[in-house]
Structure 1
Amino acid sequence: MTKAYTHLAPFYDFLMAADYPLWEQYLLSLFKKFAAVPKTILDLGCGTGNLTLPLVRRGFAVTGVDSSAEMLRQAALKAEEENLPVTLHKQDLRGLALPQVFDAAISTCDVLNYQVSAADLQAVFAGVFKHVACGGLFLFDLNSAYKLANIYGNQSYAELHDDFSYFWDNSYDEESKICKMEITFFTRAENGLYKRAVERHRQKVWLPAEIRKISETAGFKFLACYDFPSLEPYSQNSQRWQFVLQR
């Protein structure tokens, strides 16, 4: 069994197709709505840089942090191809230790769902609080309770390609509100044979009321929770919740 986002990293952009330009515009609209004009941005769980790099292209000074060396490697390769100035750090989000304070922080693509205990989530918020300037925003999203329980739920998926294939099996536990995901990869080697590898991921449901309590304990001001990617209030049927906190 390997660490999450180890074998997935080279295929992440192909498999996790998302409307990143829409996501980028949404983040910018939130900055505008709350009258924030950041110059430096901390991107938590930046992954392969799908939102980090577009923000750099817009002139923001962005620092990306991720716990996966393999995902960061993909981000660095893409930045190098375009000669984009981006700083990347391999760190656990529960123990952030960076040499600067940022005007704002973001965390996208349900990164914080991976914190499966209140203590872990509290540690993340405490670390972000230390690294964001007074008055700065922290924008992040979460997979909703509805999505983890009903869309991911106890579903299975598979895709077959020439060079790789995967089988994705989910199981949702109502008591712990944790969705366990087991991904089995088969990647084609030079000799034509396929190598098997397995990753396990876990995501936990965090309700808006819980986010408010934990984030306020860390010192943040809870400003809003929206139905992503809109400015409409969140609902129980939302698939993704967008949060806005202020330092």
Structure 2
Amino acid sequence: MSSSYSAFASIYDELMNDIPYDAYVELLDLASAGVLGKKVLDIGCGTGLLSAMLAKKGAHVTGIDLSADMLEVASRRAQSLSLDIRFIEQPMQRLDVEDTFDAAVISIDSLNYVIKQQDVVETFRRIYGALATGGVLLFDVHSLCKMDEIFLEGPFVFDNRRIAYIWQTAPGEENHSIYSELAFFVKQQDDSYQRFDEVHMQRSFAVPEYVQMLEEVGFHIERIFADWEDEAPEEESERIFFQVRK
């Protein structure tokens, strides 16, 4: 990530306001037989939107993220809502928590930011170790179609009159990876615009590869579905969901 990540954290929520976080809550609630009173790991929690929603449902939430700036926003959110959420700064492949958890979630393709396959396996291994027997992991990733085709149809532009960006993409060095350069323009009180730039890299793997990595560390695959629907992934699916259990 670039050094301007603090600026990105300040506008992240506005850029993500079309993400159905409530659907994640419902999915995890169903998979966990209710999150009330459960210990939940929100991995790649960002600004804590999902953490707060889970805590409001009665879950005991621990949020994990590698960005101190994101976690600062998340902590302020929790305090403003009088929610008792613990936030820890660490990359998911170095997950190190003392408690044993009933559920874990990696939402909004956060796992795709883990580029090396051995680090994805290590992420699964550490989550497995942090879960109680019977604990569930729910996560989503970009499909290969999205990585190899849809993302490369850029550049993409966005403008809501307060925030604008130009997003340019190119294939990354690894298979099924992308390299993204984003230029953001954020309107200031004097109607001028502040520019800052971000560089992001993401990578995905084929569904059978994820299955192999998950089973390698001991997870049992319960459900694989796509695009928020209870249907099997197809060739043109964009977001693949996994529900697995220890």
TM-score (ref. length: structure 2): 0.89
Report deviation, 1:242.
0.6
Q: Which amino acid aligns with 1:8?
A: F
Secondary structure in 1 matching 2:170: strand
2:77 is the alignment partner of 1:78: yes
- 2:147 maps to 148
Q: Gapped runs of 5+ residues in structure 1?
A: none
Matches within 5 A, 1:213-228: 213-228=212-227
Q: Which amino acid aligns with 2:16?
A: M
Report deviation, 1:194.
4.5
For residues 37 and 62 of structure 1, what CA distance do their matches in structure 2 show? 11
Residue range with higher mean Cα deviation, 175-184 or 101-110: 175-184
Cα 1:123–1:5, aligned 2, differ >3 Å: closer, same or farther?
farther
2:62 is the alignment partner of 1:67: no
Report deviation, 1:197.
2.5
Secondary structure in 1 matching 2:32: helix
For residues 201 and 234 of structure 1, what CA distance do their matches in structure 2 show? 26
Checking the alignment, whether the CA contact within 8 Å between 1:26 and 1:229 is kept in structure 2 is no
Report deviation, 1:37.
7.9
- 1:2 maps to 2
For residues 143 and 151 of structure 2, what CA distance do their matches in structure 1 show? 11
- 1:212 maps to 211
For residues 159 and 197 of structure 2, what CA distance do their matches in structure 1 show? 16
Report deviation, 1:225.
0.9
Cα 1:36–1:159, aligned 2, differ >3 Å: closer, same or farther?
closer
Q: Which amino acid aligns with 2:89?
A: K
Cα 1:14–1:189, aligned 2, differ >3 Å: closer, same or farther?
closer
For residues 178 and 98 of structure 2, what CA distance do their matches in structure 1 show? 35
TM-score (ref. length: structure 1): 0.89
Matches within 5 A, 1:106-117: 106-117=105-116
* Alpha-carbon displacement from aligned partner over 1:219-240 (angstroms, at most 9, x marks no partner): 2222221113122112222111
Checking the alignment, whether the CA contact within 8 Å between 1:41 and 1:61 is kept in structure 2 is yes
Q: Gapped runs of 5+ residues in structure 2?
A: none
* Alpha-carbon displacement from aligned partner over 1:16-55 (angstroms, at most 9, x marks no partner): 22122233223323334xx998711111001111211111
For residues 4 and 101 of structure 2, what CA distance do their matches in structure 1 show? 28
Cα 1:195–1:4, aligned 2, differ >3 Å: closer, same or farther?
closer
How much identity, in percent, do the aligned residues show? 29
For residues 51 and 6 of structure 1, what CA distance do their matches in structure 2 show? 19
For residues 27 and 146 of structure 1, what CA distance do their matches in structure 2 show? 26
Q: Which amino acid aligns with 2:8?
A: L
Report deviation, 1:142.
0.6
Q: CA RMSD, aligned part only?
A: 2.4
Cα 1:111–1:69, aligned 2, differ >3 Å: closer, same or farther?
same
Residue range with higher mean Cα deviation, 15-24 or 123-132: 15-24
Q: Which amino acid aligns with 1:183?
A: L
- 2:12 maps to 12
For residues 182 and 205 of structure 2, what CA distance do their matches in structure 1 show? 23
Report deviation, 1:199.
1.4
For residues 192 and 234 of structure 1, what CA distance do their matches in structure 2 show? 45
- 1:52 maps to 51
Q: Which amino acid aligns with 1:20?
A: Y
